[in-house]
Structure 1
Amino acid sequence: MLYALKGLCVIGMVLCISLTLLKVKANLATEEGKAEWAEQKKFAIWNAMVGVVANFFDTLGIGSYATSCALFKIRGSIKDIYIPGTLNVGDTLPVLLEAFLFFGFVDIDTLTLVSMLVAAVLGAFVGAGFVTKWDQHKVRIGMCVGLLILGTVMACKTANIGPFGLVGTATALHGAKLVIAVVINFFLGALMNIGVGLYAPCLALISVLGMNIGAAFPIMMGSCAYLMAFGNGPKFIKENRFDMVCTLCQMVGGVVGVCIAYFLVKKMPIDVLLKVVIVVVYFTAFMFGKDALADRKKA
């Protein structure tokens, strides 16, 4: 099963790169696409840096969505309406690499792992059908609410409030606990479409169900990797709801960030970094909310 899961990661990488490049090529065949590409190139270096930093944090278990959203919004480096799609398409390649590296990190029950992965993919697929139809105002509201939820969960994680202080040893779930895990991971996959990163809430879920905390890494990284590659990513690409240049920068920069974190970094002040990210997340949520209110006033 381990080889099958890693094989799916490789297939997902090929699929993501192929679909993205084909869509970019089709866009560049039009005058509108060429103009958009020229505009997006202005922030290429910044967005590549975002990919490195965010996915470096991602590999350490902090997550990438919060960091990426904040850095995109603060600099205004991509259009708000493209943020959900760019997050889910651009981070696909680096997160698939993470999953490839972390599968086998903990000896986890196959049924538990596969069930939760499938649930996340289905949730993302269903959720993307709604988000890709949203206008900019709805995207801003969704991102504001999503980041507020994410920031609150991350704050609870930092303070060991709720399930985060629990230490379990189980490597398998059965009966009602397995059903609960699958249902909740389905909704966490759906929430990925509006910027609610899956890592922190999935970690809480793993903890409260009494599982070994190490099991969170293959579950949360595998969930994100597969839901991006086979769930919402292809939908965002099909609907052309992503920033072309930023997505490619995220792919390349993200892989660099993952490799630095996994192969070179041995110890980091994670708690300090997490607290900084939380403050930035709340500030970014405020910025999205402010812009959403401005949209309403204009209307």
Structure 2
Amino acid sequence: MLKIVLSLLGLLTLYFAVVFIKDYIEASKKGKLENGNFAALGAVGFLTNFFDTLGIGSFAPTTALFKLFKLTSDRTIPGTLNVSMTIPVVAEAFIFITVIQVEPITLLTMLAAATIGAVFGAGIVSKLDEKKVQVGMGIALAVVALVMLASQLKLFPAGGDAIGLTGAKLIIAIVANFILGALMTLGIGLYAPCMALVFALGMSPKVAFPIMMGSCAFLMPAASVKFVKEGAYDRKASLAITIFGTIGVFIAAYIVKSLPLNTLKWLVIIVILYTSVTMFRSAMKKAQGKDNANVA
């Protein structure tokens, strides 16, 4: 069963890679690549995926760095996050699915639910205008920060020792992961809420890693293909983060393995809340600009 899951993931990722590389090459030939700094984008990818492998999550910190250093437009952030993180997250999934045991039915159904949710969500998010993306991401980032804060304050259950679910708990997990998969296409990372879900359902904390990373690994190629075909992403940023982010994953998984992350998590919460506020402010400025233009 595990070999089948990993084989499907490999094929899905290969399909995404072909679509992404083909689009990048065509854009390069037509001179349509973005003007972002490849080295700076690569550094962001390395840093955020390094800590992503250790369980911090990469979407919210990457969004914060995008906004802080103005590395890409707000309009393309959701698509760029999904496309750029796909291969690094697939690498994480291969690592953790093979070393941590999860009951197959629980793993497969939660992965499938997240993937279907993402395909549904990407079809909507890729067509949104910049103001709606800013408002949506402002809300999403605030939710992530609150979930992380609740986790830091130990307001969530500590989890149990189960490696699988049955009955009503399994249904709750499937429905919740479908929703998380859909929300991920807007830029709300799946790691923090999925980890909270796993703990609340009484599963082992270790099981959270293959479930959340596997969920992302399956949903991201499917969702990212939609973003690529719609052109709703930053190509240069995506390539830089893919390359250096994958390097960060392997260094974190095989060399560093663990770090005292408590202080860093508090810093990430502060940065995410700040970025959420800036997203709302950007959306308000855009709305005021349109109102002034209409008055004029």
Which TM-score applies when normalising by structure 2? 0.95
Aligned partner of 2:132: which letter? Answer: K
Q: Distance in 2 between matches of 1:5 and 1:217?
A: 16
| SS of alignment partner, residue 104 of structure 1 | helix
| SS of alignment partner, residue 37 of structure 2 | helix
Matching of residue 219 in structure 1 with residue 211 in structure 2: yes
Deviations 1:177-215 (A, max 9, x none): 100000000000011011111111111111111111111
Q: Residue 48 of structure 1 aligns with which residue? A: 42
Aligned partner of 1:59: which letter? Answer: T
Q: RMSD of the alignment, in Å?
A: 1.2
Q: Distance in 1 between matches of 2:9 and 2:109?
A: 17
Q: Residue 4 of structure 1 aligns with which residue? A: 4
Q: Residue 271 of structure 2 aligns with which residue? A: 280
Q: Distance in 2 between matches of 1:104 and 1:156?
A: 30
8 Å contact from structure 2 (residues 54, 258) kept in 1? no
Deviations 1:133-154 (A, max 9, x none): 1001111111101100011101
Matching residue within 88, 93, 96 for 1:99: 93
Matches within 5 A, 1:103-142: 103-142=97-136
Count of residue pairs the alignment pairs up: 290
Matching of residue 264 in structure 1 with residue 255 in structure 2: yes
Q: Residue 178 of structure 1 aligns with which residue? A: 170
Matching residue within 237, 240, 253 for 2:231: 240
Aligned partner of 1:103: which letter? Answer: I
Deviations 1:147-173 (A, max 9, x none): 00011101111111133xx23011111
Q: Residue 78 of structure 1 aligns with which residue? A: 72
| SS of alignment partner, residue 149 of structure 1 | helix
Aligned sequence identity (%)? 41
Q: Distance in 1 between matches of 2:228 and 2:168?
A: 37
| SS of alignment partner, residue 103 of structure 1 | helix
Q: Residue 287 of structure 2 aligns with which residue? A: 296
Aligned partner of 2:107: which letter? Answer: L
Aligned partner of 2:17: which letter? Answer: I
- Give the gaps of 5 or more residues in structure 2: 291-296
8 Å contact from structure 2 (residues 41, 71) kept in 1? yes
Q: Distance in 2 between matches of 1:8 and 1:60?
A: 25
Matching residue within 175, 194, 201 for 2:193: 201
Q: Could you tell which deviates more after superposition, 19-28 or 96-105?
A: 19-28
8 Å contact from structure 2 (residues 114, 178) kept in 1? yes
Deviation at 1:27, TM superposition (A): 2.3
- Give the gaps of 5 or more residues in structure 1: none
Q: Distance in 1 between matches of 2:63 and 2:49?
A: 12
Q: Distance in 2 between matches of 1:12 and 1:64?
A: 21
8 Å contact from structure 1 (residues 12, 96) kept in 2? no
Q: Distance in 1 between matches of 2:242 and 2:191?
A: 19
Q: Distance in 2 between matches of 1:199 and 1:254?
A: 17
Matching of residue 27 in structure 1 with residue 21 in structure 2: no
Q: Residue 146 of structure 1 aligns with which residue? A: 140
Q: Distance in 1 between matches of 2:15 and 2:242?
A: 13
Q: Residue 242 of structure 2 aligns with which residue? A: 251
Q: Distance in 1 between matches of 2:245 and 2:257?
A: 19
Matching of residue 68 in structure 1 with residue 62 in structure 2: yes
| SS of alignment partner, residue 118 of structure 2 | helix
Deviation at 1:59, TM superposition (A): 0.3
Matches within 5 A, 1:7-18: 7-18=7-18
Q: Distance in 1 between matches of 2:257 and 2:287?
A: 48
Aligned partner of 1:114: which letter? Answer: L
8 Å contact from structure 1 (residues 105, 214) kept in 2? no
Which TM-score applies when normalising by structure 1? 0.94
Q: Distance in 1 between matches of 2:7 and 2:62?
A: 28
